[in-house]
Amino acid sequence: MATIAAIATPLGRGGVGVIRLSGARAYDIACQLTGKTAFTPRMASFCRFYQADGTIVDEGLVLYFKGPHSFTGEDVIELQGHGGMILQNQLLARVFELGAKQAGAGEFSYRAFDNDKLDLVQAEAIADAIDATSAAAASSAIRSLSGEFSQKINQLLEQLIHLRLHVEAAIDFPDEEDVDFLSDGVIQDKLEQTQDKIQQVLATAKQGQLLRDGIHVVLAGRPNAGKSSLLNRLAGQERAIVTNVAGTTRDTLQETVVLNGLTLHLTDTAGLRDTDDTVERIGIERARTAITQADMLLMVYDVSRDLAEDSTPLQLAEQLFGKLPEAKKLLIIANKSDLLTDAHDKAQKASSQNDITQRGYEQVNVSCETGTGIETLIETLCAKVGFHPPENSLIARTRHIDALRRTAGHLTEAHEQLTVFQAGELVAESLRQAQLSLGEITGEFSADDLLGKIFGSFCIGK
């Protein structure tokens, strides 16, 4: 296998730039590069780095990690020189001259996985820690990297293997009383315990996915309803231009914020209306595209003017979006609620609120001008998407949740085959499928194309 090398620090100006090498020739390349004859493992050595003609490329530290006691399991060298594009590229070019090859995306982590230095969950956690958008997400990724998530999965795998052994033993030795799983209820109890545990891990994984990915929230409504003002309130800064002129927002505007630990990818959109303005019409088309892609839709309306006599916010939503979005994806925001003063206005608001609640929807009354109701909005949004991560939450990805759901499905099949049909062979097959699905998470059973996709999304230096 070729010795690989790559810049491991972000490109650009910096005090230190690191080039990482891994492979059988990493040690020899370091010796040729520096003129040294030996390096002590895990000891920093100050060296000069030389070109072939003896001129100095740079100077810095060399760290040697002898395999298998290294990140990749191979001999690893780290060259810590000065930061800066020119110096780093010159040093990397010299390393290539000495026989190293350019590392591919995620190739260092793949070699660590291939050499059993970490499993697939831990490898993914490296990328998740680097890409974390909140402190909670970073902490969760580090816990996954340390093996906490993998430990939960491996415990479940052990339970499944234990179940399979009992079931298959009962099939092979049907006359033995001590393995009569169809009548003594022991296997059924163990199966149901495993099902419960899978659901617990699945619930934890869903929280981990929200921590990792956040949610895409689109602010939509009529012109001048207060969408841009709400974006600014949530962002804590003036990101969007706000005027009294209808149609000020002509395009989508994105902003990412972390509120109560949840990452929100906010999109402000053009006000929805019929218009002859070509530019505004393009903006409205983009708004409608964003609406279809949203995880959560905040319909913002001006309580002082957007509702016709005797109409309701849900009727307005149906009018704006063509059809009423499902309740779990729509949160109604009644803006400028501070402007409601007379008894008629307040009675109409109460009537609208009752209609919304009775139909399973939710409305939050806010004032973007004063900030009233913004904290309630954030809390309601977190509750609506089910975000309540435990203190020791673990980062998770969509593929983890998919694998857990398939595992749960196979266990449901096994339970039915056991309790309804008493079909031992089918129970054993369902348990085998459950084990395969669960093993995909840690990489125990993973196709090469899946591994390529996962590691291909990593940084080059990882």
Nearest to 95 by CA among 3, 231, 10: 3
* Yes or no: domain 221-384 corresponds to CATH 3.40.50.300: yes
Provide the token pair at 180.
């009569």
Provide the CB-side half-sphere exposure for 49 (13 A, CA). 24
Beta pairing partners, 79: 19, 62
pLDDT value at residue 424: 87
Contact by Cβ (8 Å): 90, 55: no
pLDDT by residue (tens digit) across 115-151? 999 999 999 999 999 999 999 999 999 999 999 999 9
**How far apart (Å, rounded) are the C-alpha atoms in residues 172 and 162?**
15
Q: State the virtual CA torsion across 372, 377, 380, 381 in degrees, nearest 10.
A: -170
Q: How many helices (H) and strands (E) does the chain have?
A: 16, 12
Work out whether strand 262-268 and strand 253-259 pair parallel, antiparallel, or are unpaired. Answer: antiparallel
Architecture of domain 135-210+395-456: Up-down Bundle (1.20)
Residue 289 corresponds to which tokens in the numbers above?
């595209």
* Alpha carbon distance 415, 181 (integer Å): 13
Per the CB < 8 A criterion, the answer to whether 213 and 293 are in contact is no
Domain ranges of the chain: 4-118, 135-210+395-456, 221-384
Tell me the average pLDDT across 196-201: 97
pLDDT in tens, 393-452: 899 999 999 999 999 999 999 999 999 988 889 999 999 999 999 999 999 876 666 677
Helix (H), strand (E) at residue 218: strand 215-221
Q: Give me the chain's average pLDDT, please.
A: 91
State how far the Cα of 28 lies from the Cα of 419, in Å rounded to an integer.
Answer: 64
CA angle 205, 190, 194 (to 5 degrees): 5
Q: Which pLDDT score, from 0 to 100, does residue 342 have?
A: 65
Q: In the structure encoding, which two tokens stand for residue 217, read together?
A: 């929230």
Stretch 30-47: mean pLDDT, rounded?
98
| Cis peptide, bond prior to residue 313, ω within 30 of zero | no
- The string of pLDDT tens digits covering residues 52-94 is 999 999 999 999 999 999 999 999 999 999 999 999 999 999 9
Residue 306: predicted pLDDT: 85
- For residues 49 and 58, is the Cβ–Cβ distance under 8 A? yes
| For residue 2, pLDDT beyond 60 | yes
Answer yes or no: are the C-beta atoms of 435 and 160 closer than 8 Å: yes
Same fold, 135-210+395-456 and 221-384: no
What's this model's pTM, rounded to 2 decimal places? 0.86
Copy the structure tokens of residue 304: 């002082």
What percentage of residues in the chain have a pLDDT greater than 90?
77
Instruction: Please give the pLDDT value at position 441.
Output: 96
d(CA 192, CA 198): 10
Token pair of 259 as six digits? 């509120």
DSSP state letters, 423-439: -HHHHHHHHHHHHHHHH
Residue type, 64: Y
Reduced to 3 states (helix: H, G, I; strand: E, B; else coil), residue 413 is helix
Cβ atoms < 10 Å from Cβ of 391: 6
Greatest extent of the chain over all pairs of C-alpha atoms, in Å: 89
Please check the confidence at residue 181 and state whether its pLDDT lies above 60.
no
Whether 370 contacts 338, CB under 8 Å: yes
CATH number attached to the domain at 4-118: 3.30.1360.120
Alpha-carbon distance of 58 to 93, in angstroms, equals 13
Q: Is the pLDDT of residue 365 over 70?
A: yes
Task: Place 166 in a pLDDT band, splitting at 50, 70 and 90.
Answer: confident
